[in-house]
Structure 1
């Protein structure tokens, strides 16, 4: 059911899945004191606090099934003291996946078999 909101992207050491599930969105709202819409608008306008970027990544990892300790370790190792220009695209893509969904690849029409 979360396929439409799960992003698969490289972070730190490997490809990972990121999903901002309902409980993870609630946690993000609690941590920031802002609603999801306000956070999304801040990201679109590139005006969100730096710490929000890391929280979106961490919560996205947890929402996709990673243990909270492992998600924190990855964020500590690969997100702290890094250029924000490295973190922003991933954090935005995670939030964008939740906001608009992931574009599903179009299925090709079955090939027609021509007989003579």
Structure 2
């Protein structure tokens, strides 16, 4: 039920175990079901999504001090849609247990293909890499 995403200065793990959910409810004065519903329908409060990110970082293993610093530096000043999407992903991972599988690393596939000398594998890896670049752009 953890969610991994690039946030701020690198890949971060986000999780909302029971302790963080209780703290989220305490800090926002709202039940997690209401926060989830408001977020998924776009009716959220800015404080809701900021707290989801901060507490998700803490639940994922970041110290509370560092989590606050990351949120202050990277969540508050960014466009709201970016913070919203991250918060929605964190909540969805906890709510449904669904987590996205990381995309395969085309560079790793290319290195493996080159090591074996498999020309068709090298070609497939390069095609996958080109698609990944197009998708990222």
TM-score of the alignment, normalized to the shorter chain, above 0.5: yes
Structure having the higher helix fraction is 2
* Alpha-carbon shift at residue 86 of structure 1 (Å): 1.1
Q: Does residue 25 of the first structure (1) align with residue 21 of the second (2)?
A: yes
Partner of 2:94: 98
SS at match of 2:77: coil
What is the aligned residue count?
101
CA shift digits 1:23-49 (9 cap, x unpaired)? 000000001111111111101111110
* Alpha-carbon shift at residue 104 of structure 1 (Å): 7.4
* Alpha-carbon shift at residue 103 of structure 1 (Å): 4.2
Consecutive unaligned residues in structure 2, runs of 5 or more: 102-137
Structure 1: distance between partners of 2:34 and 2:45: 12
Distance 1:46 1:21, change over 3 A: same
Q: Give every structure 1 segment of 4 or more consecutive aligned residues whose post-TM-superposition deviation is greater than 4 Å.
A: none
Q: Does residue 10 of the first structure (1) align with residue 6 of the second (2)?
A: yes
2:69 alignment partner, one of 73, 77, 86: 73
By relative contact order (CA 8 Å, sep 6+), the higher-ranking structure is 1
* Alpha-carbon shift at residue 102 of structure 1 (Å): 2.5
- Which has more radius of gyration? 2
CA shift digits 1:39-88 (9 cap, x unpaired)? 11101111110111111000000001110000001001101222101111
Consecutive unaligned residues in structure 1, runs of 5 or more: 106-116
Distance 1:104 1:40, change over 3 A: closer
